[in-house]
Structure 1
Amino acid sequence: MAGTVYRAERTGLLLVDPYNDFLSHGGKIFPMIESIAKEVGLLDNLRAIVAAARKADIQVFYVPHRRWQPGDYENWDHPNPTQRLIQKRHTFEKGTWGGEWHPDFVPHQGDIIIHEHWAQSGFANTDLDFQLKQQGVTHVIAVGLLANTCIESTSRFAMELGYHVTLVRDATAAFTHDMMHAAHELNGPTFAHEILTTAELLAALPSPLSSPLSSSRSA
């Protein structure tokens, strides 16, 4: 159970990489996470969290990976192994279905879309920290993909910058159970302030009537 009070005006939901390639049947990466995604109820949990955040007037931030386009990584000195795979697979290719938002996670008016990250951290070489500070956010909730790469890297970076960090163990997925275990049982406890289930998070979020900004943000 969460011991944190999530004030709507100080909390940001980081929705990381909700692309068709990750979350939809026919996506390039979906077959690699499908088993764990089904096991944890990933899509239903993401839907519930995003809906609850919007109802509570918690700011939603889209934290997207770079959408591949011709020429990416070709002249780099040392692209990492994942970037080499993206170069080969054309993962999240710009202008294609795989690089579009999953239909259940299309941004709404008022959501903030962060500059695309090239590697694993949603903060590195993007405007995420700037945008969070402009909104007065001190607490971030990280959901999306993958648990042991972009979620972990973004969340670690958030901690280093002084944010309160919440991970949601069943609102993410990975390629293997070992990767999920590492993300939530080995690595997560070294940097995250809370590691919750979706049910625990939903119980801790403010109701719309308790949010002091509900009228101003919807105006």
Structure 2
Amino acid sequence: MTRALIVIDVQESFRAHPLWETISDPKITRQVDRLVGLARRAGDTVVWVLHSEPGSGGVFDPALGHVRLMDELSRRDGEPLIHKTSHNAFTTTNLQQLLTERGVRELTVCGIRTEQCVETTARLASDLGYQVTFVTDATATNPVPHRDAPAGQSVAELLADPRTLSAEDVVRRTEYALSGRFATIATVDELETSAASRA
């Protein structure tokens, strides 16, 4: 097939981070698993991407053991697993080569965080000529602090600051920024309905 699903950073690192309690969808693995099932049934390539910050001492440092898929997800033999050290899934990996070798021209993207690694990957993929579908309800993110917020805010301080952009607003703004420019916005339900109509 010429399609691939790119699952970005749905990893235990986020659960180990204090901000996890503010995540927009703590059950994101359910939506991601539905997309993975759709892709596998269609014979599409499923690519798993993990973010890694070696030597950082933080939750993305592989030495701490959190840089692995969330426990509810399972990768099958033959499904590529790549590790990135940049926000997008292309710059520090062989993702483009992998997709080119498989003849992939259409990408479906999902994962954590909506406006950061997932959006950045979608934008770069579009610039590289891929047709991109951004599955919003299979992404998750956290509230974003105001640019003037003090460094090292606690979760309570972040949530109490009226300037903080809520996770819901982050998702909504990401949809506006991508739609019609870099990606088609879709939901898991819509993709399941479309797959059923083609069957």
Q: Once the two structures are superposed, what CA deviation does each residue of 1:176-206 show, in whole Å capped at 9, x if it has no partner?
A: 2221111112x11153341011100122237
1:13 corresponds in structure 2 to 5
1:183 corresponds in structure 2 to 174
Offset of residue 132 of structure 1? 0.5
Range moving further from structure 2, 128-137 or 44-53:
44-53
Instruction: From 31, 37, 40, give the equivalent of 2:25.
Output: 37
1:119 corresponds in structure 2 to 86
* Mapped contact 2:10–2:50 kept (Cα < 8 A): yes
Q: Distance in 2 between matches of 1:28 and 1:109?
A: 33
* Mapped contact 1:21–1:29 kept (Cα < 8 A): no
Offset of residue 64 of structure 1? 1.8
Instruction: From 162, 167, 171, give the equivalent of 2:129.
Output: 162
* Mapped contact 2:29–2:73 kept (Cα < 8 A): no
Taking the TM superposition and a 5 Å limit, the aligned residue runs for 1:137-176 are: 137-175=104-142, 176=167
What amino acid sits opposite 2:77 in the alignment? Answer: Q
Q: Once the two structures are superposed, what CA deviation does each residue of 1:93-124 show, in whole Å capped at 9, x if it has no partner?
A: 2143422221222321010122x222211111
Instruction: Mark the runs of 5 or more structure 2 residues left unpaired by the alignment.
Output: 143-166
Offset of residue 27 of structure 1? 4.8
Seen in structure 2, the aligned counterparts of structure 1 residues 96 and 107 have a Cα distance that, compared at 3 Å, is farther
Q: Distance in 1 between matches of 2:8 and 2:35?
A: 13
What amino acid sits opposite 1:50 in the alignment? Answer: V
Q: Distance in 1 between matches of 2:18 and 2:96?
A: 30
Bigger share in helix? 1
State the number of aligned residues. 175
* Mapped contact 1:56–1:206 kept (Cα < 8 A): no
1:52 corresponds in structure 2 to 38
What amino acid sits opposite 2:114 in the alignment? Answer: A
Q: Distance in 1 between matches of 2:25 and 2:97?
A: 32
Q: Distance in 2 between matches of 1:206 and 1:112?
A: 26
RMSD over aligned CA atoms reads 2.1
Seen in structure 2, the aligned counterparts of structure 1 residues 127 and 29 have a Cα distance that, compared at 3 Å, is farther
Percent of aligned positions that are identical: 24
Offset of residue 28 of structure 1? 4.8
Q: Distance in 2 between matches of 1:28 and 1:112?
A: 29
| Higher RCO, Cα 8 Å, sep 6+ | 1
Q: Distance in 2 between matches of 1:202 and 1:137?
A: 20
Seen in structure 2, the aligned counterparts of structure 1 residues 57 and 206 have a Cα distance that, compared at 3 Å, is farther
Q: Once the two structures are superposed, what CA deviation does each residue of 1:55-87 show, in whole Å capped at 9, x if it has no partner?
A: 221110112212x332xxxxxxxxxxxxxxxx4
Q: Distance in 1 between matches of 2:36 and 2:191?
A: 11
SS at match of 2:123: helix
